[in-house]
């Protein structure tokens, strides 16, 4: 009997405990405490995701700025390289032109040689044209006639001497006194160091004739 009583009492106690726990669970489900907890957890997860995305966006922006700076530096360096290449190409072209000009044989003579050759050609032409004139200068010297002054018995004065020297006597002989040819005189003055204009004044010749005679003498050696 005692066993039955204890078992009955335990069953009653367990029944009341079940009822109490069931009521509590119903309250919690009815008030939405579980949903609130789930919402809080989901909100925390969302906030963490937002923070991580913000950090990632900031990192991405900094990387973009760094990339732009590197691109600008690369553009500046490319511009400098282009300028250097242009300068090098211009200097190479200039050097190649100079080298080609130096390697090519100079077909044209310098001004001095051209003037010398031109002068030689002119002297050749002048010598061809004036060879007869120089021959005449060498062969036909200027003759200055001088009257042989004979002493006259009746005239002893200076006037008689001047008259005798200027007017030939009817019975006297005229004696030509030959002066050296103009060519020899020109060469003598040239050897003494006179200029062509001075030689032309002293010999009574033209400057062209004087230079022609001097050039012919220099060619003959």
| pLDDT for res 13 | 84
| Domain housing 152 | 143-178
Specify whether 165 is located in the same domain as 128.
no
* Whether residues 168 and 193 fall in one domain: no
Are 131 and 152 within one domain? no
119 & 214 share domain: yes
Total Cβ atoms within 10 A of residue 210: 26
pLDDT in tens, 22-49: 887 777 666 667 677 888 899 999 999 9
Determine the Cα–Cα distance for residues 4 and 1; give it in Å rounded to an integer: 5
Domain membership flag for residue 95: no
Per-residue pLDDT reduced to its tens digit, 90-121: 878 877 777 776 655 444 444 444 444 444 44
Whether residue 91 lies inside any domain: the answer is no
Give the DSSP per-residue string, the chain: -HHHHHHHHHHHHHHHHHHHHHHHHHHHHHHTHHHHHHHHHHHHHHHHHHHHHHHHHHHHHHHHHHHHHHHHHHHHHHHHHHHHHHHHHHHHHHHHHHHHHHHS---SPPHHHHHHHHHHHHHHHHHHHHHHHHHHHHHS--EEEEE--PPPSS--SHHHHHHHHHS--SSSPEEEEEPPPHHHHHHHHHHHT--HHHHHHHHT--HHHHHHHHHHHHHH-
Number of domains in the chain: 3
Assess whether 131 and 194 both reside in one domain: yes
Determine the Cα–Cα distance for residues 175 and 213; give it in Å rounded to an integer. Answer: 30
142 to 136, 148, 208: CA distances (angstroms):
10, 18, 19
Based on the domain organization, do 185 and 134 belong to the same domain? yes
CB atoms within 10 A of CB 104: 8
Report the pLDDT value the prediction gives residue 169, as an integer from 0 to 100. Answer: 44
Q: What is the pLDDT of residue 218?
A: 83
How high is the mean pLDDT in each 10-residue block of the chain (221 residues)? Answer: 78 84 74 76 91 91 93 92 87 76 51 45 47 41 36 38 40 46 83 87 87 85 66
CB atoms within 10 A of CB 32: 11
Separation of alpha carbons 180 and 138, rounded Å: 9
Q: Specify whether 127 is located in the same domain as 204.
A: yes
Assess if residue 76 is contained within a domain: yes
Instruction: Examine the domain organization and report whether 121 and 51 are in the same domain.
Output: no
């Amino acid at each position: 009997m005692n066993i039955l009583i204890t078992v009955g009492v335990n069953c009653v106690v367990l029944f009341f405990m079940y009822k109490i726990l069931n009521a509590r669970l119903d309250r919690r489900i009815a008030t939405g405490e579980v949903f609130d907890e789930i919402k809080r957890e989901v909100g925390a997860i969302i906030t963490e995701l937002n923070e991580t995305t913000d950090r990632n966006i900031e990192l991405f922006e900094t990387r973009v700025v760094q990339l732009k700076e590197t691109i600008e530096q690369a553009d500046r360096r490319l511009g400098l390289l282009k300028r250097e290449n242009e300068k090098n190409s211009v200097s190479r072209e200039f050097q190649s032109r100079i080298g080609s000009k130096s390697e090519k044989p100079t077909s044209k003579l310098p001004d001095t040689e051209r003037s010398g050759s031109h002068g030689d050609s002119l002297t050749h032409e002048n010598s061809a044209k004036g060879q007869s004139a120089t021959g005449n200068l060498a062969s036909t010297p200027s003759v200055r006639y001088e009257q042989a002054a004979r002493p006259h018995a009746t005239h002893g004065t200076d006037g008689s001497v001047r008259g005798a020297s200027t007017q030939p006597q009817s019975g006297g002989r005229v004696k030509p006194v030959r002066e050296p040819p103009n060519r020899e005189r020109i060469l003598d003055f040239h050897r003494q160091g006179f200029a062509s204009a001075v030689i032309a004044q002293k010999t009574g010749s033209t400057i062209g004739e004087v230079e022609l005679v001097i050039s012919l003498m220099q060619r003959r050696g």
